[in-house]
Structure 1
C-alpha cells in the first residue's frame, strides 16, 4: 500500500509541478497547489500560494488566478490574460514533466540493473509437453532449438516460434546437461493490440529467481530512450486500436486496483522494478492527458489553438457544456474501470456484499 501511494503521489506531484513552474515562469499567480483531493490534512501558505496535502491521494491540482471566465477580472497576473500560446505552454508542461520523469526513471532502471527472470523453471503445467517429456521444477534451461538462452523471455521467443515443430530443449540439472525433445502445443492468443496469433507452448513458468542486467551510463541512456519510444508508440497504437474496436478496452485497461497489484509486485522485485513501473505509468499519464478530450490537458490545448485561429475565445457557455461533457465521460470511464478491476481481480462479489447483494 505504501509503494502504491508513493508511486501515485510522485506521478501527480511531478505533473502538477510542471503546470506550476510554467505558470510561475509566465508570471501567472498560483493560488493553490494541492496533492490529493478532499479534506485538508496539511496546509501552508508561502507567498501567494497555499500548499495543501489532502486525504484522497488519487489526484491533485493547481489553482491559478483567473483561470475561468467567471473569475477572470482582466488582471495581468491571471491565467486568461495570457496569449493562447502561453496558456498552451502552461497546460502542456504537466504532461511534459511526466514524460521527462519517465525518461529519467527508465534511464536509471538500466543503469542500476534491469530485472529479468532467469531461465530456472518454477512451475510445470500438467499434461503439457515439458512435463510429459520429463523436465522438472528447478531445471535451468540453457538452450532451445540449438540456440543458447540467457533470460526467460529468450525461452518464450524461441518456443513461441517453434509451434508444431519438434524442438530440443537443453537443461542443466544438478551440474548435468540433459536434452528433451518435444513438440510445442499450438495455441491462439491475442497480442497487446488485439490481433489473434498462433504461438507454441510447452507448459513452463519461471521461478522467482531474478537477474539484474546493468549497463554503462551511455548504454543505459540509449536503452532507456529506446524503451520509452517503443512503449510510447505501443500506447498510442493501443489507444487507437481501442477507439477503432480492434482491441478490447475491458481486457487492456486497468485502474487503481490493478496499479496497486502491479506496484506491490514491483516492490518485491526491488527498487529498479519500482522505477520501471513509475516510468511506464508516467509515460502513460502523459499520453492520456494529451488526448484531445474536454477537461484533459489535450482538450485545453486544442481550445487554446482554436482561439488562436479564430482570434477570439469560445463563448463561456460552450466551454462550460464541453467541460461538463468531458467530466461526465471521465466519471463514467472511472466507474467502468473500477468495476472492471473488481471483476478481474475477484473482488466483485465482496463489493456487492457492501450493498447487501
Structure 2
C-alpha cells in the first residue's frame, strides 16, 4: 500500500505539473504574467520569487496550478477597511504591500485601506497610522509586491500583463500548451517504456503466448502466429482481435483462423471467462508481439501515442453516441487503483501508466466543456469569428456552469469508483 501511495503521488504530480508547466512557459513567452507556479495544493511549505513569478511547494502533493494575472482564480485581496503595511522605495512609490499579520517582515507605514487600484491607476490610499482625519494616497510601482495572509509574496498584476490584454492567438496558444505538453510526455514515456522492455508492442494480429493462461497454447497456437479471423470475422490488428475475443463470454467454443508462415489453420478453443470491475470478459492466453528493431523503438513514442489517442477517441465517440456509463470514466480513485496494478509490474509498468494517463489527460482536456482547456479554446475561436471577445458576464457564467458540471461529474465518478474498487 505504501508503495502504491508513493507511486500515485509521483504519477499524479508528474501529470499535472507537466500540464501546468505547458501553460506557464507559453504564457510567459506570450507576455502574460504568471504570478504563481505551484507544485502541490494547500498551505505552502516553500516559496521563492524569481522574474515576476513566485514558485511554491505546497503541503498536499497532488498536482499543482498556474495562477495567471487576470485569470478566473486571480482575485485581488485588498479590501476597504483592511490594515496593511506599506514599504516605499527611494522615490516614495510603494514597492511592497504587506496584508499579513506578520509585522516583522519590514518596518512599513501602517495604513487602513479606503480605496486601491493595482491594475490601472496603480495607487493605494487610506488612513495612515490610524489618523482618520486625513486620507493619504500613495502611487504603487508597476512591479510592486503584495504579501498575502500566509506570507507568500506575489507581484501585482497591472492590466497590461493580464491574460485579457494578450491577443486572442496568444491566449489560444496558452490554452493549447498544457495539452501539447501532455502529448509530449506521453511520447517520451512510451519511448522509454519500449527501450526498457527491449521492444515495441505491435498493434498487429501477430501474437505471443502468455504464461499465466494456457488455453491458446494447449489448442496449438504458437508464438508469432497471426490470428486473422475470429468466428469468420476479420481481425486485422491487435485492437480488433482483443475486442473480438474478450466479447466471447457465453462460454461457447470459438473458431480461429491462424496463419503460420505459408500455412493457414483453423483452431477451435473455449475462452476462459473472467470478471474484472464488475464486467465480464474472456481470454485465451495471448498477448501483443514485440518488435525489437531500434528504429521501431525510437519511433514507438509517436506510434503508441497515436494508437492510444485513436482508441480513446473511439471510446469517447461510443459514449456520446448513446452508450454512456460512469464505468467508462475514472477519477482519482480509479487512478489510485490502477496505480496499484502498475506498480506490480515495476518501474516499466509505472512508466507505461504515466504515458497512458498523459494522453488521456490531453484528450479529455480538449473536450469542448467550459472550464477545460477545450472550452476555453472554443471561446477563443468564437472571439476570432465575432472579432470581439465575449462579455465578461457571459464568459464568467459559462465558466461557472462548466465548473458546476465538472464538480458534479467528479462526485458521481468518484463515488462510482469507490463502489467498483473498494465496496463490491
Rounded Cα–Cα distance in structure 2 between residues aligned with 1:214 and 1:186: 28
Distance 1:212 1:242 in 2: 30
Structure 2 residue corresponding to 1:276, chosen from 337, 346, 352:
352
- Paired residue for 1:220, among 297, 300, 303? 297
In the other structure, the counterpart of 1:149 is 223
CA-CA distance at 1:121 after TM superposition: 4.7
Asked if the contact 2:208/2:289 (under 8 Å) is kept, the reply is no
Measure, in 2, the Cα distance between the counterparts of 1:259 and 1:276.
13
In our comparison, the structure showing a higher alpha carbon Rg is 2
Taking the aligned partners of 2:255 and 2:321, their CA distance within structure 1 comes to 39
- 8 A Cα contact 1:35 1:59, kept in partner: yes
Instruction: Give the C-alpha shift of residue 142 in structure 1.
Output: 4.7
CA–CA distance in 1 between the matches of 2:30 and 2:268? Answer: 66
2:168 matched to 1:164? no
Question: What is the correspondence of 1:301-320 to structure 2 with a 5 Å cutoff?
Answer: 301-320=377-396
- 1:260 deviates by 1.2
TM-score (norm 1): 0.73
Higher helix share: 1
Shift of 1:119: 3.9
RMSD: 3.9
Q: 1:107-186 residue pairs with structure 2 within 5 A? A: 107-113=191-197, 119=209, 121-122=211-212, 142=217, 144-145=219-220, 147-149=221-223, 160=245, 164-165=253-254, 183-184=269-270
* Deviation at residue 122 of structure 1 after TM alignment: 3.7
Q: Relative to structure 2, which stretch is displaced further, 298-307 or 216-225?
A: 216-225
In structure 2, the partner of 1:133 is: none
Shift of 1:266: 1.6
Q: Does 1:93 align with 2:167?
A: no
Q: Which residue does 1:233 correspond to in 2?
A: 310
Q: Is the aligned partner of 1:36 residue 2:44?
A: no
Q: Does 1:254 align with 2:309?
A: no
Cα drift, residue 308 of structure 1: 1.6
Task: Give the secondary structure class of the aligned counterpart of 2:161.
Answer: coil
Residues 111 and 214 of structure 1 are in contact (CA less than 8 Å); yes or no, is this contact kept in structure 2? no
Q: TM-score, normalised by structure 2?
A: 0.63
Shift of 1:305: 1.4
After the TM superposition, which parts of structure 1 deviate over 6 Å for at least 4 consecutive aligned residues? 69-72, 115-118, 186-189, 203-206
Match of 2:28 among 24, 31, 37: 24
Which string of whole-angstrom CA distances, capped at 9 and with x for unpartnered residues, describes residues 127-171 of structure 1?
xxx6xxxxxxxxxx65744x41269x99x959939963578xxxx
Alignment partner of 1:243 is 2:320? yes
- Structure possessing the higher relative contact order (Cα contacts under 8 Å, 6 or more residues apart): 1
| Secondary structure of the structure 1 residue equivalent to 2:407 | helix
Alpha-carbon distance between aligned partners in 1 of 2:411 and 2:18, rounded to the nearest angstrom? 25
How many residues were matched structurally? 307
Residues in 2 aligned to 1:115 and 1:218: alpha-carbon distance in whole angstroms: 10
> 1:1-51 CA deviation, whole Å, 9 max, x = no partner?
101100001011111111111011112211011123222232222231111
CA distance in 2 between counterparts of 1:346 and 1:70 reads 39
1:106 to 169, 175, 190: 190
Could you say which structure has the higher strand fraction? 2
- Is 1:11 equivalent to 2:87 in the alignment? no
Distance 1:17 1:149 in 2: 44
Q: What's the offset of the Cα at 1:86?
A: 0.8
Taking the aligned partners of 1:87 and 1:245, their CA distance within structure 2 comes to: 34
Query: CA 1:219/1:165 → structure 2, altered by over 3 Å: closer, same or farther?
Result: closer
Q: Distance in 1 between matches of 2:23 and 2:391?
A: 25
Cα distance per residue 1:68-105 (max 9 Å; x no partner): 59876474322111110110001100110000100111
Query: Contact 2:22–2:178 (CA<8 Å) still a contact in 1?
Result: yes
**Deviation, structure 1 residue 255:** 1.5
Structure 2 portions without partners, runs of 5+: 77-118, 121-157, 202-206, 229-237, 257-266
Matches within 5 A, 1:332-347: 332-347=408-423
Q: Secondary structure at the match of 1:76?
A: helix
Among 164, 167, 174, the residue aligned to 1:80 = 164
Per mean C-alpha deviation after superposition, the further-off stretch among 157-166 and 94-103 is 157-166
